[in-house]
């Protein structure tokens, strides 16, 4: 494989693939890398109902189309590419990838997306796939006729709580605050479902069990009392954090670890741009990631044109 590229895009979700489509059409030699499967969070989305121009479809279907579009305009797309190190400081950006080698380009676009937020409890790790799950559509049927909990208070938590009642005997929604962040319609749907109950103002302190999960222990934030909820399953929907831990000291991040950019999605490092859920922004949707990918690619193309002009002068 070639080692020299015009642009290296790190992240192959909606933002990264969109950037690739624009770059490829502009005939820029583009490598798109992803540490996991191509598609990012989109591929984890069972149904996408708000992507304009596309009737409700699986996230994986949109991923497949976007990938084909990117490859169709000449991009090389590489999944399961673990980035071991980056040096973005000079005019030639260097990206080292496990098993694949070292690649260079004058421009890098960071589109590393987000990763599911974890509670960070030692017992959370212990019961992963032994009762703790992050995907209702994948694992819901393991809990047929059982009591389970959903942890979180946003739209995903409330919607998945309702969908899990298809299988479970009861679904207890555990939330750390009094009010839900979810939209009122999502709360109303959950409230009217007889299998759903609510435990609010609760901080999760432990997942308990032997070989698999049997209970979730929480602390009531009003009284300090410990509450034990018997459950063989716990589904966590507590949001996402930017996948930027490895970029500390490489580009400017804010206090939440989000990449700081200007309006044209330039970072504080010349020739390095950022797009999608990893950067500072309020709304994180497939549509906003696509918009970011477009802007970052067009800015990158303009930057490459400036470099070519400077070299020719």
Partner 1 sequence: MLRTNLNHVQSTAEFNSLLSGGGKAAIVCGRMGPMCIPVYGVMENLETKYPDVKFFDMEFDAPVARETIRRLPEVQGFYGLPFTVYLKDGRVVHATGGIQSKAQVKEILDAKVN
Closest to partner 1 by CB, 23 vs 289, is 289
Residue 71 half-sphere exposure, CB side, CA atoms within 13 Å? 13
Among 57, 76, 137, 170, binds partner 1 (CB under 8 A): 137
Distance CA 101, CA 98 (A): 7
Closest to partner 1 by CB, 109 vs 231, is 231
Distance CA 200, CA 220 (A): 8
Residue 121 half-sphere exposure, CB side, CA atoms within 13 Å? 17
Residue 90 half-sphere exposure, CB side, CA atoms within 13 Å? 8
Does 212 sit near partner 1 (CB under 8 A)? yes
CB 134 to partner 1: min, Å: 8
Closest to partner 1 by CB, 56 vs 99, is 99
Q: In the structure encoding, which two tokens stand for residue 32, read together?
A: 């798109």
Give Cβ neighbours of residue 25 (< 8 Å, ≥ 6 apart).
Answer: 73
Give Cβ neighbours of residue 282 (< 8 Å, ≥ 6 apart).
Answer: none
Beta-sheet strands, E only, within 111-212: 114-116, 132-133, 147-151, 170-174, 196-199, 202-209
Residues with catalytic function: 135, 138-139
Interface of this chain with partner 1, residues 38 to 57, rule: CB under 8 A: 38, 43-46
CB 261 to partner 1: min, Å: 28
Binding mask 92-111 for partner 1 (x = CB under 8 A): ------xx------------
Interface of this chain with partner 1, residues 235 to 254, rule: CB under 8 A: none
Among 145, 184, 192, 211, binds partner 1 (CB under 8 A): 211
Interface of this chain with partner 1, residues 54 to 93, rule: CB under 8 A: 59-60, 79-80, 82
Among 118, 130, 195, 281, binds partner 1 (CB under 8 A): 130
Stretch that binds partner 1, among 9-17, 34-42, 106-114, 161-169 (CB under 8 A): 34-42
Beta-sheet strands, E only, within 56-188: 76-78, 83-87, 93-97, 101-105, 107-110, 114-116, 132-133, 147-151, 170-174
Does 128 sit near partner 1 (CB under 8 A)? yes
SS3 72: helix
Residues interacting with partner 1, by CB under 8 A?
Answer: 35-38, 43-46, 59-60, 79-80, 82, 98-99, 128-135, 137-139, 142-143, 211-213, 232-233
């Amino acid at each position: 494989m070639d080692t020299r590229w015009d642009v290296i895009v790190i992240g192959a979700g909606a933002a990264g693939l969109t950037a690739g489509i624009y770059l490829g059409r502009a005939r820029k030699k583009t490598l798109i890398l992803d540490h996991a499967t191509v598609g990012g969070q989109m591929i984890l989305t069972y149904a996408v109902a708000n992507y304009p121009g596309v009737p409700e479809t699986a996230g994986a279907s949109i991923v497949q189309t976007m990938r084909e579009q990117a490859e169709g305009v000449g991009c090389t797309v590489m999944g399961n590419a673990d980035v071991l190190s980056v040096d973005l400081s000079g005019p030639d950006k260097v990206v080292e990838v496990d098993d694949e080698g070292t690649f260079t380009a004058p421009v890098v676009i960071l589109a590393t997306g987000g990763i599911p937020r974890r509670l960070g409890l030692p017992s959370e790790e212990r019961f992963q796939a032994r009762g703790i799950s992050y995907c209702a559509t994948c694992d819901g049927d393991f809990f047929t006729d059982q009591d389970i909990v959903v942890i979180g208070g946003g739209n995903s938590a409330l919607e998945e709580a309702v969908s899990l009642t298809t299988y479970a005997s009861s679904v207890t929604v555990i939330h750390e605050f009094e009010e839900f962040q979810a939209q009122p319609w999502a709360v109303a749907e959950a409230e009217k479902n007889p299998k759903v109950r609510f435990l609010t103002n609760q901080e999760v302190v432990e997942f308990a069990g032997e070989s698999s999960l049997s209970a979730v222990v929480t602390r009531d934030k009003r009284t300090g009392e410990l509450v034990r909820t018997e459950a063989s399953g716990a589904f966590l929907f507590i949001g996402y954090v930017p996948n930027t831990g490895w970029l500390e000291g490489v580009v400017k991040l804010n206090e939440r670890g989000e990449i700081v950019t200007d309006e044209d999605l330039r970072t504080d490092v010349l020739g390095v741009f950022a797009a999608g859920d990893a950067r500072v922004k309020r709304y994180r949707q497939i549509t906003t990631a696509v918009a970011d990918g477009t802007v970052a690619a067009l800015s990158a193309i303009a930057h490459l044109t400036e470099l070519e002009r400077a070299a020719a002068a």
